Amino acid sequence: MMVMISPMMDVINANNCQICEKGKCKQFQLLDCDDCQNEICQLYKEQIIQEESECGDGLKQEQEECDDGNNLNNDGCSDHCFIENGWNCTQFSYKLNQCYKITLMQLTYLFQHYEVQQIKLSYTNEVKLDETKIIFIDNSSFFISQLKNEQYNIKVTPRSNLTQITVQQTRKVDYIIDIIFHENLDSKPILTVNISALLWDINSMPIYPNTQQFELLTPQIISSTQLERSITIKYVGLSLQIGLSGYGAILLMTGQIMQFLDILDILQYQSYLKYVNVNYPENLQIYFDSSNFLTLSPILNYFKIVQLFNSILGENVLMSIGKFNQYEINADFLTNIQAQILQLASLIILFLLSLQKYNLFNSKCFSEQNSNLLKYLQLKLYLLQKSIVFSTKVMSKEKLLQMFHVNSQDLIFKVLLFLFSNTTNSTRQQISNYICIIFLTSTFFIMIRPIRNLYNKINRQINIEQQYESIILMRKLLFFLFLIGTQNHPLLECLMLSFSFALNLILITYCKLIKQKVDLVFVFWVEIPVIAFIQINNLYCQDFSNHIPYSSKINLGFFQIGLLIFGILGPLVKSMIQLYDRIKKTLQKREKQQKNIQTIKIFAEIKI
């Protein structure tokens, strides 16, 4: 290190040199007085001793922007003692400097839900407000310059109380910005975020007022006429689904399990299509709300069964993946199978009652005081109870398989959703993993058992119904495997979902599992609209969506709704045809009986 003396600029100010003598300042010996009048300096020249230090010695000199005690780059202070881009350093002369990453404001796009777009405002470090200005944001902090105020609204809220900025301490700031548009736009709007407050980060470094612009997506707004039409169609679809559900319940009570399962599959598949990870138009999303009644959750909550299970098994929330997370679907397996646990408990109770031959009805049920209608209902319930409770086959293999097929679609969905969503290894999740593996293994063996006899001519007629069930079970497994497993690849998801339905049709047709051509026609009636629906979903994927106007998407949505309703009409038309055939046969039988009676009367008259 060396010391040098260098002349500095003239200063037209005598405050630093007031008393002089023979061209020198008496207070500051390093100052020369060029104009000394009556021992008062009028003009002086300054000379300052500067130390030419080495960069990296830990002592910041005036010619250095920083000195952090080393000659390394990428640590905030370069090897030439310059502050690097994106860093900020303390400014203490003749001391070691500390360098920190500059705290930046971040705007993160979260999602678009039709007319609403959501953005997150945060900072890369914890921050707090400066004491001189305690207002962080106001009405002028967020605006869209190319739009009028009545064309949009902006709502800003902290994600929680712990993420709201304060003066007292630094926090991880996290604000949610909701932009609600009231009109359709031809171009993408630009949101301006202007933070005029002075902030300080966790390293006591200042964050000066900042302005950023953020490009939003084109708003997707449905007109009032289209909205009313969508709501009307929603209630039409809801009525059809309720009617189909009622018909399915009748089939179940009359012992027609296979037809009941077909109807249940149709309703459930349509309800699961909303989870395909594409951005549906709003009218189609409104229609999907009509399928929300297909759940036992309200019943379980009403009878406080959910609270009972939570007290026994514990309450847990597992974040799901993809579109399921947008619907806030809890992926926790033990929580989701509460309805199945209730069914199993009920079956065990019935089995125990059957062992004890306990009769739920006594003679008072059939007293003379009851009306004929009440007696009829009591008799039917008594016979139903007797067939279940006193039957020694209540826990037979066939009944267990029927129970499995009734719950298979719901269970496969919950098992695969848990397996794809789970990232923890707690005791609860390990137990769930074991149960899921056992279930999938059992499903696989149930599925392949009848398929092994597909070409066995001796057992073909015996196993044809089981073979049909097996193919349907395989379709369910593939459907949910593709629906959940390919959430991050929408184009592939749509392709594979269509493949699962097409494969089902090919196997049923090729293996000739449905004898009646009319029944085969109705199978195609139900499956083809679903395949067409899924293929149209490709147009909502990002690769194509940006090139299609939103008005065209609305029209596509109405067409897809028509496809789904057309698929629902298949079983209803089939049931009406079957009802017509039964009435026709009954009338023909009665007509034949009347003819026989008339013939007997004629012979009786002749005999007389």
Question: Between the ranges 26-35, 130-139, 378-387, 422-431, where is the mean pLDDT highest?
Answer: 422-431
| Last residue of one domain, picked from the residues 73, 101, 129 | 101
What pLDDT shows up at residue 535?
A: 95
Q: Which of 272-281, 289-298, 581-590 has the highest mean pLDDT?
A: 272-281
CA 379 to chain centre: 48
CATH (domain of 173): 2.60.40
If asked whether residues 570 and 490 sit together in one domain, one would say yes
Q: Please tell me the predicted confidence (pLDDT) of residue 6.
A: 31
Q: Given a cut of 80, is residue 566 above it in pLDDT?
A: yes
- Alpha carbons within 13 angstroms on the beta-carbon side of residue 48 total 7
* Rg of the chain on CA atoms, in Å: 40
Tell me what the mean pLDDT of segment 397-421 comes to.
86
What pLDDT shows up at residue 175? 93
Asked if residue 243 is part of any domain, the answer here is yes
Let me know if residue 324 belongs to a domain.
no
pLDDT of residue 40: 62
Final residue of a structural domain among 163, 181, 215: 215
Tokens of 411: 């269970």
Q: What is the distance between the alpha carbons of residues 113 and 536, in angstroms, rounded to a whole number?
A: 20
What value, to the nearest 5°, has the Cα angle with vertex 473 and ends 467 and 474? Answer: 90
Beta bridge partners of 199: 129, 207
Domain count, the chain: 3
Are 271 and 232 members of one domain? Answer: yes
For residue 31, how many other CB atoms are within 10 A of its CB?
21
pLDDT band at 374 (very low <50, low <70, confident <90, very high): low
Domain that residue 59 falls in: 2-101
- Of residues 506 and 25, more confidently modeled: 506
Q: Are residues 95 and 109 in the same domain?
A: no
Q: Could you tell me the two tokens for 536?
A: 């149209």
Q: Average pLDDT, whole number, for the chain?
A: 80
Quick: pLDDT tens for 155-166.
Answer: 999 988 877 888
Same domain, 79 and 123: no
**Residue whose pair of structure tokens reads 């006429």 in the numeric block:** 225
User: Which of 58-62, 241-245, 342-346, 561-565 has maximum average pLDDT?
Assistant: 561-565
Three-class SS of residue 182? coil
Which residues does 235 contact at the CB level (< 8 Å), separation at least 6? 290
88 and 25 part of one domain? yes
Separation of alpha carbons 384 and 579, rounded Å: 24
Q: Does residue 232 fall inside a structural domain? A: yes
Helices (H) and strands (E) in the chain, counts: 16, 17
Residue of 360 and 171 predicted with greater confidence: 171
H or E segment and range at residue 570: helix 550-607
Q: How far apart are CA 205 and CA 222, in angstroms?
A: 47
Lowest-confidence region among 128-142, 353-367, 491-505 = 353-367
SS3 141: coil
**Tokens of residue 379, six digits:** 């008799």
Asked whether residue 593 carries a pLDDT value surpassing 80, the answer given is no
Considering the domain architecture, whether residues 197 and 254 belong to the same structural domain is answered as: no
Same domain, 204 and 245: no
Give just the sign of the alpha carbon dihedral 30, 34, 35, 37: positive
| Mean pLDDT across 112-135 | 89
Give the pair of three-digit tokens for residue 132: 């001189």
Residue 335 inside a domain? The answer is no
CA separation for the pair 487, 510 (Å, rounded): 31
Q: Which of 70, 66, 69 minimizes the C-alpha distance to 83?
A: 66
pLDDT, one tens digit per residue, over 177-226 is: 999 999 888 889 999 999 999 999 998 888 999 999 999 998 888 888 99
pLDDT band at residue 363 using 50, 70 and 90 as cut-offs:
very low
Q: Taking the mean position of all CA atoms in its chain, how far away is CA 87?
A: 38
pLDDT of the residue at 3:
28
Q: Which residues of 57-96 are buried (b: 16+ CB within 10 A; e: fewer)?
A: bebbbeebebbbeeeeeeebbbeebebbeebbbbeeeeee
Can you read off the two tokens belonging to residue 473?
A: 């079970």
**C-alpha to C-alpha distance for 502 and 480, rounded to whole angstroms:** 15
Mean of pLDDT values over 284-308: 73
Which residues touch 122 (CB under 8 Å, ≥6 apart)?
Answer: 105, 106, 108, 172, 173, 174, 175
Least confident of 14-28, 93-107, 158-172, 267-281: 14-28
Nearest to 471 by CA among 267, 274, 326, 261: 261
Q: Rounded distance, CA 290 to CA 92, Å? A: 67
**Tokens standing for 288?**
């999907």
Q: Would you say residue 331 lies in a domain?
A: no
Which residues lie across from 157 on neighbouring strands?
176
Residues 96 and 110 in one domain: no
In a domain, 349, yes or no: no
The two tokens of residue 526 are 């139900």
As a three-state string, the secondary structure of 363-399 is HHHHCCCCCHHHHHHHHHHHHHHHHHHCCCCCCCHHH
Average pLDDT over residues 573-583: 82
Residue 400 resides in a domain: no
469: enclosing H helix or E strand: helix 460-485
In this predicted structure, the answer to whether residue 375 has a pLDDT above a threshold of 80 is: no
Question: In one letter, which amino acid is 307?
Answer: Q
The pLDDT score that the predictor gives to residue 1 is 30
Domain end residue (candidates: 195, 215, 235): 215
- 243 and 306 belong to one structural domain: yes
Give residue 122's pLDDT. 93
The pLDDT assigned to 360 comes to 47
Same domain, 412 and 552: yes
Query: Does 394 have pLDDT greater than 60?
Result: no
Averaged pLDDT, 445-468: 69
* Residue 37 pLDDT class (50, 70, 90 cuts): low
Q: Is 132 helix (H, G, I), strand (E, B) or coil?
A: coil
| Between 144 and 358, residue with greater pLDDT | 144
Alpha-carbon distance 64 to 59, whole Å? 9
Q: Does residue 554 share a domain with residue 438?
A: yes
Least confident of 135-149, 280-294, 448-462, 586-600: 448-462
**Domain shared by 549 and 461, yes or no:** yes
pLDDT at 454 over 80: no
Answer yes or no: is pLDDT of 274 > 90. yes
pTM: 0.69
More confident residue, 12 or 522: 522
Average pLDDT score over residue span 269-287: 92
Residue bearing tokens 């097929």: 405
199-201, strands of its sheet edge to edge: 127-129, 199-201, 206-207
Residue 352 lies inside a defined structural domain of this protein: no
Of 316-325, 381-390, 574-583, the poorest mean pLDDT is in 381-390
